[in-house]
Structure 1
Amino acid sequence: MTDHTQKNNRVSIPHQIWPAAWLRAAEPQAAAEMGITLYDLMQRAAQAAYTLARHQYPHSRHWLVLCGHGNNGGDGYVLARLAREAGITVTLLAQGGDNPLPDEATQARAAWLDSGGTAGCLAAPWPEDADLIIDGLLGTGLQQAPRAPVAAAITRANQHPAPVLALDIPSGLLAETGATPGAVICADTTITFITLKPGLLTGKARDVVGQLHHHDLGLGPWLAQQQAPMERLDETGLAGWLPPRRATANKGDHGKLVVIGGDTGTCGAIRMAGEAALRAGAGLVRVLTRAENIAPIITARPELMVHELTPDTLSDALAWADVVVIGPGLGQQSWGKRALQKVENVRKPMLWDADALNLLAINPDKRQNRVITPHPGEAARLLNCTIADIENDRLAASRRLVARYGGTVVLKGAGSVIADTEHLCIADVGNAGMASAGMGDVLSGIIGALLAQKLPPLIATCAGCVAHGAAGDALARDSGMRGMLATDLFTRLPRFVNP
């Protein structure tokens, strides 16, 4: 069993992510290679969940086990038997159906009944004194909204006062995408088996997964021989991405960055992006903005070099800079459009955000030297679809953005997705307190600074997203989420860019 120490509602879970469909297809081969049966795996899963339940909820005495009509329900039957044998009162309610259960679930149900257990229907009265609910209704094969009677059972479970432990995945959460097309279990704890599935980390996952645990069921040696197609990112990766500086380094060694934006009324956006770049270690940062913004920005942050954005200053800055960030507060009027048209021809590494992305959606192009950082609304405009389309499959949307626009993409949100032509990553950092104005501007500055320090685009983007999210998590731990400001991240960011 993995370590139970809670950290940001996470315990020690893998960094490799696998599609649920791949695992379902590979599981028989994996079991065979390890010399065990699929029923052995089911018993191991139930034992792992039972052990976790006793650890997490040691005072619970009456367990309500909800079993669906698949192998997820089979896990529930085995767990119920283990609990009953330990002297716990168990009420098991199961989904009916004309189709036979899978072989392993059939064995598990028979063992439960042979041990003296009973199985009521989901619509039967639920015990009011149940103090733990085990969710074994729907597994990782779900691809649509749950139907009756399972949907009704999910609703009842969410209304019941007892905490919920979900087996493998909360019922109703789609394992591949994190979408919730209908009723979904709001679990307090989830234990997932063998591999980490992408739907546990992005989309609506954070609303319903609770504290996430993992158990490989003894298949670790087999998994180590496989190549995972996706990666979970957290702050443990920062030390590998951000090596210590040489003792003799000077500011020129750490990159020259120009940030462009801050139309009338949006001085704050470009100031935050510029300061974030300095805080993330860029050697020199030049800001090009409206003339009226110069004094406020210099007053607030004198380390920035601030100039009025004109054709001449833009040409000079683009020749001077190693990296370009454009978009924060840029606007979509002629002032911003003219600047973007000139930046389009630059072959240096660059990052486009905010209104640069809205203008890109109007005149799309594809280039490999660019990082784009859309939130779901901007992504919907870039792909000419709805926000719901983006959120229903954030991984697919990220791949589509890369295919259409090239370079490296960050699809921001709860479980930001980072992609290029060869990689797909989910940043398992950040919190709802960061849903506030200016956070994206700070992220743009951080990634731009890491690009200026000569990190490859994918690494700069991954490290930037993780440092940004981890700084927000540190703030939330210390002060809570509500009221978090984007500039508050500057008090925590140095810790994460100096791992």
Structure 2
Amino acid sequence: MLKDQIKTAGSLPHSLYRAEQIKEFEGAAAQLAGLTLYDLMKVAGQACYDVFKTHFPNAGKVLVFTGQGNNGGDGYIFAGIAKKAGLEVQLCQMGDPGNVANDARRAKKTWEKGQGKIETIEQANIGATDVIVDALLGTGLSGGLRPEFKSLIAKINQAGKAVLSVDIPSGLNADSGAVNPVAIKAAATVTFVGLKQGLFTGAGANHCGQLYCSGLGITQYFADLAVSDVSRVSYQDLTHLLKKRQRDSHKGQFGKTLVIGGNIGMPGAVRLAAESALRSGSGLVKVLTRQENHNAVIFGRPELMLQYYSEKTASEDLFEDWPTVLVIGPGLGLDDWAQSLLKRVIGTELPCVVDADALTLLASKPVCKDNWILTPHPGEAAKLLGTGIAEIEKDRFSAVRRLQSIYGGIVILKGAGSLICDGKQTFLANVGNPGMASGGMGDVLSGIIGGLLAQGLNSLDAARLSVCIHGDAADLAAQQGERGLLASDLFSYIRKLVNPSC
């Protein structure tokens, strides 16, 4: 039997695909490779078994749930291989075993010829198994789940057993990563041919567990046929942008970042953003804020400069001479002071990062500009699009594209599997951890982006690299534990990551 190298973690491909693309080009790619779709099914079943033995080496009993489609066929092949290897296998079919599709029917007959039994879902002995193999639905799910699938998936999740999902956890939307309303929580998932984009963002990142990928021997043919406009991006892909500095360098060569925000009672956000711009390598950083925040901003970080904005200085030209980059939003507030500053920023053509309260203000009076990077979390994205958070999380890819089409520039939709969109391509950075769910993390990201823009990176490169540095720094900081992770804990790791040669 043809075997294909199984990839995981750092070796996973970069391109991400929609389920329809896999369906459209899988057959043609197989034909170019001299394989039938049943040949692919056999390779997929073997890949599942190889992952099973790698991930669950001590398992002796396995319970396989199959559906009536080709995903179920993969499950039948797996069950036959596992049985021959001496494992105790129970296979339970959802629906009528006599109504199995195409190549899956052939796989079912092969299982039966090997003396394999097909039992009903009601006969499943979940409590007695070591591992459950989920071969129920695959990528064919559209719309909501039928009641019998909802019930079984909930039962599997509640059983506390390790699950290996075949191609994609059942109940998860392969394109969006949304769950409607339940999906298998897998310990591991082995996916085939191409990486499905929904596995990496939103609920998908929380349901697939350790991800493995088998190209089934047709990877190159498929990649030549299917063009993807979504790809994964990592810190390692972008370190070439962080050039080593010359011995005769001076601060004027590395840009001047002006961080705007810090309304009364909110100095911490603007301080975090400003300090992260410094730690990212901006030559100079100034904070434009309320005079009342003087001590809170400057204390303990004398390298920061301060400028105050009030009704008395409203007539001054704030941006003509000094800054090369603007960051607006951290602690900005929503009052007249904040609105006046955002109006001034909208009127300039300087590269700009728009975050936090500035996004809330922007939502009330939408403007489209090419010179900015917007950094909404799902709640801010919902305001910008006039919808709810659930709608954003239902399809994050669609949301980030809509945001970019309305507001222009580069849009970063933060969250599990952050998305970066420039209107032509969408990039996904599966970095970071739950410890980042704490105040100030977004302010730190804005500062990193500002710092890299100040050093001359273009908007797309600065956005992609900043998201990766931010997430990787948080992952390094979380080695001491995710709970209790502070935004300021990232600073020393940011400094390390912007100096890849150190």
After TM superposition, the score normalised by the length of structure 2 is: 0.95
Does structure 1 residue 483 correspond to structure 2 residue 480? no
User: Could you say if the C-alpha distance between residues 98 and 217 of structure 1 is closer, same or farther in structure 2, counting changes exceeding 3 Å?
Assistant: closer
Q: 2:270 is matched with which residue?
A: 270
Q: Distance in 2 between matches of 1:374 and 1:361?
A: 11
CA drift at 1:86: 0.7
Code of the residue aligned with 1:264 in structure 2: it is I
**Stretch deviating more after TM superposition (390-399 or 240-249):** 240-249
CA drift at 1:224: 4.2
Q: What secondary structure is seen at the aligned counterpart in 2 of 1:287?
A: strand
Code of the residue aligned with 1:346 in structure 2: it is T
Q: 2:146 is matched with which residue?
A: 147
**Stretch deviating more after TM superposition (233-242 or 117-126):** 233-242
CA drift at 1:33: 0.9
Q: What secondary structure is seen at the aligned counterpart in 1 of 2:127?
A: coil
Q: Distance in 2 between matches of 1:11 and 1:99?
A: 42
Does structure 1 residue 303 correspond to structure 2 residue 303? yes
**Stretch deviating more after TM superposition (205-214 or 25-34):** 205-214
Provide, for residues 41-94 of structure 1, a one-character-per-residue CA deviation record: whole Å limited to 9, x for no partner. 111111111011111111111110000111111100000000001111100001
Q: Distance in 2 between matches of 1:211 and 1:318?
A: 51
Residues 110-259 of structure 1 aligned to structure 2 (within 5 Å): 110-225=109-224, 226-259=226-259
Provide, for residues 223-242 of structure 1, a one-character-per-residue CA deviation record: whole Å limited to 9, x for no partner. 44353211112222231332
Q: Distance in 2 between matches of 1:55 and 1:330?
A: 51
CA drift at 1:149: 2.0
Q: 1:260 is matched with which residue?
A: 260
**Aligned to 2:335, which of 333, 336, 359?**
333
Q: Distance in 2 between matches of 1:52 and 1:415?
A: 24
Structure 1 residue runs of 4 or more that deviate by more than 4 Å after TM superposition = none
Does structure 1 residue 89 correspond to structure 2 residue 91? no
5+ long unaligned stretches in structure 1: 5-9
Kept in 2, the 8 Å contact 1:2–1:13? The answer is no
CA drift at 1:151: 1.9
Residues 309-348 of structure 1 aligned to structure 2 (within 5 Å): 309-310=309-310, 311=313, 315-348=317-350
Kept in 2, the 8 Å contact 1:2–1:12? The answer is no
Q: Distance in 1 between matches of 2:253 and 2:124?
A: 70
CA drift at 1:282: 0.6
Code of the residue aligned with 2:496 in structure 1: it is R
Q: Distance in 1 between matches of 2:147 and 2:115?
A: 28
CA drift at 1:100: 3.5
User: Could you say if the C-alpha distance between residues 336 and 253 of structure 1 is closer, same or farther in structure 2, counting changes exceeding 3 Å?
Assistant: same
**Aligned to 1:400, which of 397, 402, 407?**
402
CA drift at 1:381: 0.8
Q: Distance in 2 between matches of 1:204 and 1:325?
A: 30
Q: 2:41 is matched with which residue?
A: 42
User: Could you say if the C-alpha distance between residues 312 and 29 of structure 1 is closer, same or farther in structure 2, counting changes exceeding 3 Å?
Assistant: same
Provide, for residues 9-39 of structure 1, a one-character-per-residue CA deviation record: whole Å limited to 9, x for no partner. x453111111111111111111011110111
Q: 1:446 is matched with which residue?
A: 448
Q: 1:67 is matched with which residue?
A: 66
Q: 1:22 is matched with which residue?
A: 21
Kept in 1, the 8 Å contact 2:372–2:409? The answer is yes
**Stretch deviating more after TM superposition (307-316 or 293-302):** 307-316
Code of the residue aligned with 1:261 in structure 2: it is G
Q: Distance in 1 between matches of 2:94 and 2:102?
A: 16
Q: 1:382 is matched with which residue?
A: 384
Q: 2:57 is matched with which residue?
A: 58
Q: What secondary structure is seen at the aligned counterpart in 2 of 1:430?
A: coil
Q: What secondary structure is seen at the aligned counterpart in 1 of 2:100?
A: coil
CA drift at 1:312: 6.0
Kept in 2, the 8 Å contact 1:136–1:167? The answer is yes
Does structure 1 residue 473 correspond to structure 2 residue 475? yes
Q: Distance in 2 between matches of 1:171 and 1:247?
A: 56
Kept in 2, the 8 Å contact 1:294–1:307? The answer is no
Query: Identity over the aligned pairs, expressed in percent?
Result: 44
**Stretch deviating more after TM superposition (466-475 or 146-155):** 146-155
Code of the residue aligned with 1:361 in structure 2: it is A
Kept in 2, the 8 Å contact 1:191–1:213? The answer is yes
Code of the residue aligned with 2:80 in structure 1: it is R
CA drift at 1:344: 1.0
Q: What secondary structure is seen at the aligned counterpart in 2 of 1:302?
A: coil
Q: Distance in 2 between matches of 1:238 and 1:309?
A: 37
Code of the residue aligned with 2:30 in structure 1: it is A
**Stretch deviating more after TM superposition (227-236 or 382-391):** 227-236
Q: Distance in 1 between matches of 2:219 and 2:482?
A: 36
Code of the residue aligned with 1:482 in structure 2: it is R
Kept in 2, the 8 Å contact 1:408–1:419? The answer is yes
Kept in 1, the 8 Å contact 2:401–2:421? The answer is yes
Q: What secondary structure is seen at the aligned counterpart in 2 of 1:300?
A: coil
Kept in 2, the 8 Å contact 1:70–1:138? The answer is yes
Q: Distance in 1 between matches of 2:21 and 2:295?
A: 57
Q: Distance in 1 between matches of 2:482 and 2:238?
A: 23
Provide, for residues 320-349 of structure 1, a one-character-per-residue CA deviation record: whole Å limited to 9, x for no partner. 111111111110101111111111110111
CA drift at 1:194: 1.2
Kept in 2, the 8 Å contact 1:145–1:183? The answer is no
Kept in 2, the 8 Å contact 1:178–1:201? The answer is yes
Q: Distance in 2 between matches of 1:228 and 1:242?
A: 27
5+ long unaligned stretches in structure 2: none
Name the count of aligned residue pairs.
493
Q: Distance in 1 between matches of 2:252 and 2:178?
A: 46
Q: 1:7 is matched with which residue?
A: none
Code of the residue aligned with 2:172 in structure 1: it is L
Q: Distance in 1 between matches of 2:126 and 2:314?
A: 76
Kept in 2, the 8 Å contact 1:272–1:442? The answer is yes
Q: Distance in 2 between matches of 1:493 and 1:171?
A: 38
After TM superposition, the score normalised by the length of structure 1 is: 0.96
Provide, for residues 125-175 of structure 1, a one-character-per-residue CA deviation record: whole Å limited to 9, x for no partner. 425321011000111121222213222221221122321001111111100
